[in-house]
Structure 1
Amino acid sequence: MSDFDFAIIGAGIAGASLAAILSARASVVLIEAEAHPGYHATGRSAAFWVECYGGPGVQPLTTASGPFLTAPPADFHDGPLMHKRGALHIGTSDQTAIADHMLAEFAASGVHIDVSDRAAVATYVPGLRSEWTHGLWEPDCCDIDVAHLHAAYLRQAKRQGAVLHCNSRLSAAKYENGVWQISAGSFNCSANILINAAGAWADEVAQMAQVRPLGIQPYRRTIAQLVVSPVVPADLPLVIGLDGSFYFKPDAGGRLWLSPHDETATPACDAAPEELDVATAIDRLQAVVDWDIQRVEHKWAGLRSFAPDRLPVIGCDGANDAFFWFAGQGGFGIQTAPAAAQLAGSLLDAAIAAPQNVNAAIYTPARFL
């Protein structure tokens, strides 16, 4: 007899959402290395839902997550977990091919994208410099309330009997006689299925469990909170460079969140912002708008972890069915959380329905064999 049906390594948005799904019908333990869940990635998210973000392979998970985030069950959260923002992808005259490619990629997806000329683009972004002439408008983009979403998943999992152990960094995981023997800090347990939801540490967890790593690479992403003049309008959309070189959005109190959209390969760690990345972000912003940047009020960095093909990895390991991958969710783990957890749950428990219009085969770890 094992102590738990499922042991989930990592209590960020991935582990918490899957725990909430599985604990309705099974015994679950969430094992978290840090003092608080969601410390490295979930708690440092820029918090938006954009159907095009992550590309056509990620979009079905994002789209399928929309209804849940818009109108979650009353016993999960009181009210919507995301609110309309709108996203504007902007480019210069030499970036029309990028816009055309994006339109072609999502032509059959049902994602609502409108083409905007210079006059339309300028109405969305006050102070926009003249060279920014092309835009693609995603009206359905929303801000996500990440903190409440993550807390609601943890609360639901606890209500259904899941057990959370923080300050419990995995130190050993051995599979013998059909059961995992797990040591994590001072906590020891056994489980039938080990679920790897460890984000940037996913490959390290696999190696500890004697499972072949998949090449999941963490990358540092930087965000700065700025005070600018004029004050950022509250209805400013999320503004994304067509070439992927920046994004910015308003924050409470007229502040601006800005990122150079950086991806710096790094070992799994407690990521910290680099001054050069903050300076790069500001330089790129100044090339877009004529705003006066008064000060950097806050800056931080988080980790985004990708598989080699930049798609999530969801499914049983090819060599050991008792090891389940739920990793590689990059910078889109929040916006895909409801559907991704539902998909993973359906692969682990036949009684759980899979999300509609999501092809599980493209996320299977078997694609790396």
Structure 2
Amino acid sequence: MIDFLVIGGGIAGLSTGARLSEHGHVVVLEAEEALGYHTSGRSAALFEKGYGPPSVKALNAASEAHLVSNGYLSPRGLMLIGGHDQREVFQQDRKDLRLQEISLKDAMARVPILNPHTAGFAAVSTAAFDIDTDRMLQDFARVIRANGGAVRTRRKVTAIEKEGHWIVQAGDTHEAHNLVNAAGAWVDKVATMAGITPIGIEPRRRSMARLPAPAGHDLTGWPLILGAGESWYAKPDAGKLLVSPCEADPSFPHDAYADDMVLAEGLARYEAMVTEPVTRVETNWAGLRSFSPDGTLVLGPDPADPSFIWSAAQGGYGFQTAPAASQLVADLVTGSQSDLDATNVAALKPVRFCA
């Protein structure tokens, strides 16, 4: 009998499975051929401790030591850019992200394609880092295997029932004492299959385009550039530039793809702040980030059936919160004391959605 059967092989499922493997036999089921295929494999992969609502910021802070000690972080930096007519929203973003305002001249020295005729305000932080997301996924999977567990791909769940314990059909039959719902955009579907009341977690699409380096610039030292109001962002990646419209359009669980019109609008917002036009899009894609009704993660046992465990609604915060979020799930399952304060724990538990 499996102690913890985890549905979902993205960062939520693998990190939670790794923590729980210290307390019992874990098996992870991933529907696709590869781990992290959907949202986890399409992440912007940035750690910014001040990004997100209060409970997410608490998870960010609690995750930092793990990310640093395992060598997952490398310097990137963050630059916020506001247009001449965006002073108010720029200042609000600057305060929320705890950035230092700099002159436009200084900003252009760091990112020479900024357009001084349209960009009016700039702020920066050096405390933003790229995350080695693939190594994180593989390391958590290795922990599960090292503790006697298994990670199985091509295991799409087709049926769930409970007869004293969980019986899950996914190509073959899996029986478990506890079921961990880490299915990303599919978490409410999994809950419904299991006879658990869904929370109302909504998948939202975010698109991305890969561009050649603008005007052949060396992008090595450029920060991630964020448009005020989170209206677009641009991030250097292996000598190319990733540009996103930063949309959060409601969707449904599926293998997402970019919306051409939304992508074009986002590229136009980016182009408005730079001197180099977009002449070619090399490739584009999209991912589904899942959000709970209050915008923060859902972690821990379901109040109606504690053997059904949520690791869900990571939104855009999955990798940067994973070390602490997965530890909180394990603490709540085992009855251990969490290092997070009681207010933030309450803000993350699924019981908050009970009437």
Residue 103 of structure 1 deviates from its aligned partner by: 5.2
Give me the whole-angstrom Cα distance separating, in 2, the residues matched to 1:320 and 1:47: 34
TM-score (norm 2): 0.94
Amino acid at match of 1:88: M
Q: Are 1:240 and 2:226 matched, yes or no?
A: yes
* 1:269 to partner: Cα distance: 0.2
Alignment of 1:159-238 (within 5 A): 159-177=146-164, 179-184=165-170, 186-227=171-212, 228-238=214-224
Quick one: which of 22, 37, 42 aligns to 1:44? Answer: 42
Q: Normalised by the size of structure 1, how large is the TM-score?
A: 0.90
| Cα separation, 2, equivalents of 1:61 and 1:117 | 32
Match of 2:114 in 1: 128
Pairing partner for 2:244 from 254, 259, 265 = 259
Paired residue for 2:12? 14
Show the counterpart of 1:296.
Answer: 281
1:1-369 paired onto structure 2 within 5 Å? 3-72=1-70, 80-102=71-93, 105=96, 113-130=99-116, 131-177=118-164, 179-184=165-170, 186-227=171-212, 228-252=214-238, 254-350=239-335, 354-356=338-340, 359-369=344-354
Q: Check the 8 A contact 1:121/1:133 in 2, yes or no.
A: no
Matched letter for residue 100 of structure 2:
D
Structure 1 unpaired stretches of 5+: 73-79, 107-111
| Secondary structure, counterpart of 2:54 in structure 1 | coil
The whole-number CA distance in structure 1 between the counterparts of 2:191 and 2:276 is 47
Q: Which has the higher helix share?
A: 2
Q: Distance in 2 between matches of 1:193 and 1:305?
A: 23
**CA offset digits 1:236-291 (Å, max 9, x no partner):** 10011121110001111x31011010122111000112222332232122101101
Sequence identity of aligned pairs in percent?
36
TM-fit CA distance, 1:216: 0.6
Question: How far did residue 43 of structure 1 move?
Answer: 0.9
Amino acid at match of 2:137: H
Q: Distance in 1 between matches of 2:232 and 2:95?
A: 22
Structure 2 residue identity aligned to 1:59: K
Q: Distance in 2 between matches of 1:212 and 1:348?
A: 19
Give the superposition deviation at 1:230.
Answer: 3.6
CA distance in structure 2 between the partners assigned to 1:224 and 1:94 by the alignment = 26
* Structure 1 residue 311, shift from structure 2 partner: 0.3
Q: Distance in 2 between matches of 1:223 and 1:236?
A: 18
The residue matched to 2:293 in structure 1 has which SS? coil
Residues 73-100 of structure 1: CA distance to partner in whole angstroms, max 9, x if unpaired?
Answer: xxxxxxx111011111221243332244
2:290–2:313: 8 Å Cα contact kept in structure 1? yes
**What secondary structure sits across from 1:367 in the alignment?**
helix
Would you say the 8 A contact 1:229–1:293 is kept in 2? no
Aligned with 1:257: secondary structure?
Answer: strand
Secondary structure of the residue that 2:287 maps to in structure 1? strand
- Which deviations, in whole Å up to 9, do the C-alpha atoms of 1:106-145 show, x marking residues without a partner? 6xxxxx5322233333333212112322233221100011
Are the counterparts in 1 of residues 49 and 60 from structure 2 also a CA contact under 8 Å?
yes
Provide, for residues 2-34 of structure 1, a one-character-per-residue CA deviation record: whole Å limited to 9, x for no partner.
Answer: x11111110110000111111123111111111
